Structure 1
Amino acid sequence: MTQYHVAVDHLDPDDRELTTTYLGTCDQAHVDQVRAIAALPESERHLLPYRRIPDAFCVLRSDGDLDVYFPVDAEPFDIRVPDPSALLYDDRDMPEAGYKVTGPAYIDGAVRFGDQVIGGAMDHPESGPRFTWHSTESPAGRSYFNSVAAYLMRVASEPQVIYDPVSDSLGQFGPLTQSARALQNDGSRRTNREGLVNIQVEVLAYARSPWTKGFDPAMEPNFRKLLAAGRAYGIPDVWPAGNPPKSPGGSYPRPRGTWQSKPGHYDHGQVPGNSHTDFGACDTAIVPGKATSSPKKHPPTPSKPATPASPNAFPGASPFGPGANNAYVTRLGSMLVTRGGARYYKVGPGPKWGDADRAATRAFQLAQGWKGQDADGIPGPKTWDLLVTGKGKNIPPLYEPYPGATFFRTGRHSAVVTAMGKRLVAVGCGAYKQGPGPDWTSVDAASVKRWQKHRGTPQTGIPSTADWDALKVPNV
């Protein structure tokens, strides 16, 4: 009977980084049971295919995690590694001069998943700006938002944007100014890079049941922000290839000439070179609807926090938390960066309080062994004192630092070897017939070679610094 590797992908609720826990192997009988449970109408677990690996699959869980199953003897698949450069035509860099990008790279309030590197510059800005809409073919709701995001990262098919219409949750895997990787190429033409921008959106929904039924954009501010971001790039409120057809059973002509010349909104099933038929017959009065204007609201001027007697004295609770905008927030962020919190800040610390400040503060508090309200992400006197005096424990690194090439040798016994092996299995490159262990063996070297082949680097069996950093071995 076929044996399967089993792993769990988890998106950290604070830093949105994906971590994988390897659980070992199971037999075909267990897999059959998993599939049967997911097939029950009342089940909260839902199967999705693990693209590019035959017989592999993933299970969406309502707690936000993703279960991953793939055969022990499966060959590793090649992820489409993001190419930071656009194609060159007639020795011209693309996008070429004259194609001005006017919209935001990030939508205000969108959570950011992963390292935000999924694509590169656009090949054909002359084709005009566009939205490409997808449906995830999964349940909707806040409880599935993270597990679907983890699935898209796992199978390397991230759009720029993921949206849940039930909770109005909005996330990004990369900037809107660069390409995504949720489309198939049309021959040699890279559809992901078609247009001045090609904002791809995965909506948590089933194509067979249009999610716009009963959906009121007036009650969903994040959805309105998403459409506003597209309009800032000049995306017109039209469907050049026709209204999105119903799925299944609709007609999908996939007009190449239209796709390559007309800006606007496109259904995944209308993109040439693609075989999918999502995202279904949505209500075009909602997607995209029509832009509306509203009177500008001037935010209240925040009150200045009281100046403490000493420069290092705790300034009180009022300078921190949602809505705070002052120099103390900047100082807090700067101190957290020096204590291991740099990874939480996609942009450097600033005066406006944000999710990064709270996540980094909470990570520092957890590093001290604090729990509950003592680790709520809002600095109190104890947190502030440790930061300004340089005392306490630093935020531990998320991943193991590269141990050096000489570390990988016969006789090496280390928990780092086990952690490395579990990551190699989790990314589909393990050559282990039994679970990875702490002793470095030829099987570890063979697994590393698979990883190097997968990355397109020299297959030495000893990870380089770049191989190691890309593998993201969890800190032990």
Structure 2
Amino acid sequence: MPDLWMPGARRLDVGDTAPMDGGPAKAVAHITWDRNATAAKPQPLVSFETLTEYFGRNPDGRRAAPHILWDPFTGRFTQFVPADSRSKSLADRAGGTRTNRAGKVVLQIEALFFPYCRVDGKVYGRLVDTPCKGWLELLAWVRSHGVPDVWPMGRPSDFASRRDEATWAKQGGWYGHSQVPENDHQDPGSWPAFAPAPPRPAYEPFPGAAFFVLGRRSAVITAMGRRLVAEGCGRYQVGPGPAWSEADRQSYAAWQRRLGYSGDSADGIPGAESWARLRVPNV
């Protein structure tokens, strides 16, 4: 089950949660745009702490808090609402599409940025010009909630608005604030590119000794049992799998003895080293 609260993010729960309507999973890209600067007159970036306090504690900010505030200069995150609740970062007219709820998730991401902000003496005209620190961690969390790596209305490359309610209703993926029905904002202007998903490992990582308790049901246990049978260590009358049983423990103990373990080290409860050597296929 994906994490409702992003790992590594500061948690500042504003409450006022509400369920989603279901449908294609979406993420919405925003920038805070809290100052109007120009190339001729850049302005200092507002601090991450200031925006965190605004969304987390100011009554007006709480009413518009996103799921995630992201600082692309440092890779810091604050989360205000769990992933399975709507946030209120989108305009939502009565009687129309419920923009903030129109999906299994509609994850609202506010990047701390405005055009021509100045940070450590350097001026940044577009979000993609920043270091984008933390983007891969953010992308991984959004992916874990089933949001596909697509921009149904095109990846934002300027501050033009384009909205299509039928596309919004039917297609999951990433949308710019400028692409959401009932909204008149033009951000984010740009957004970092998707990175390739990390390759899936060939073998199941060790789930920890505490995973192997009587009655635990998992495809991992079935795959483990099949490997034990293939190695000539099976002690099964039925199975293997899907639930951890005494037969699994006896079979794994036989594998441990095969590897040279004895005594308490061959008690049939998997350890990291013996598990790695068994090479249980990823399921």
Match of 2:186 in 1: 277
2:5 equivalent to 1:106: yes
Residue 151 of structure 1: which of 46, 54, 75 is its match? 54
* Residues 36-94 of structure 1, C-alpha deviations (whole Å, 9 max, x = no match): xxxxxxxxxxxxxxxxxxxxxxxxxxxxxxxxxxxxxxxxxxxxxxxxxxxxxxxxxxx
For 1:240 and 1:223, the matched residues in 2 are separated by 20
Letter in 2 for 1:146: E
Is the 8 Å Cα contact of residues 142 and 166 (structure 1) preserved in structure 2? no
Match of 1:210 in 2: 126
Residue 177 of structure 1: which of 70, 84, 92 is its match? 84
Displacement of 1:177 in angstroms is 1.1
Indicate the percent of aligned positions where both proteins have the same amino acid: 29
Change (3 A) 1:276 1:143: closer
Q: Which runs of 5+ in 2 are unaligned?
A: 36-42, 117-124, 209-283
Match of 2:269 in 1: none
Displacement of 1:270 in angstroms is 0.5
**Equivalences for 1:453-464 in 2 at 5 Å?**
none
For 1:212 and 1:199, the matched residues in 2 are separated by 20
Match of 1:135 in 2: 31
Match of 1:231 in 2: 143
Is the 8 Å Cα contact of residues 268 and 274 (structure 1) preserved in structure 2? yes
Change (3 A) 1:243 1:117: same
Is the 8 Å Cα contact of residues 152 and 158 (structure 1) preserved in structure 2? yes
Structure 1 runs, 4 residues or longer, greater than 6 Å off? 139-143
Displacement of 1:289 in angstroms is 3.1
Match of 1:462 in 2: none
For 1:147 and 1:243, the matched residues in 2 are separated by 29
For 2:90 and 2:145, the matched residues in 1 are separated by 21
Displacement of 1:268 in angstroms is 0.5
Letter in 1 for 2:141: A
Change (3 A) 1:175 1:168: same
Residue 201 of structure 1: which of 109, 113, 117 is its match? 109
2:168 equivalent to 1:259: yes
TM-score of the superposed pair, with normalisation by structure 2: 0.59
Match of 1:120 in 2: 18
Partner SS state of residue 133, structure 1:
strand
* Residues 307-330 of structure 1, C-alpha deviations (whole Å, 9 max, x = no match): xxxxxxxxxxxxxxxxxxxxxxxx
Partner SS state of residue 260, structure 1:
helix
For 2:26 and 2:177, the matched residues in 1 are separated by 12
Change (3 A) 1:164 1:118: farther
For 1:230 and 1:104, the matched residues in 2 are separated by 10
2:149 equivalent to 1:241: no
RMSD: 2.9
* Residues 109-166 of structure 1, C-alpha deviations (whole Å, 9 max, x = no match): 11012x441431002x12x101101100147999711211222342221001100001
For 1:120 and 1:207, the matched residues in 2 are separated by 33
Change (3 A) 1:129 1:151: same
Q: Which runs of 5+ in 1 are unaligned?
A: 1-101, 302-476
Letter in 1 for 2:126: P
Is the 8 Å Cα contact of residues 186 and 272 (structure 1) preserved in structure 2? no
- Matched residues, number: 186
For 1:227 and 1:282, the matched residues in 2 are separated by 12
* Residues 231-252 of structure 1, C-alpha deviations (whole Å, 9 max, x = no match): 11221111001121412xx2x2
TM-score of the superposed pair, with normalisation by structure 1: 0.36
Is the 8 Å Cα contact of residues 34 and 46 (structure 2) preserved in structure 1? no
Is the 8 Å Cα contact of residues 118 and 158 (structure 1) preserved in structure 2? no
Partner SS state of residue 47, structure 2:
helix
Is the 8 Å Cα contact of residues 151 and 174 (structure 2) preserved in structure 1? yes
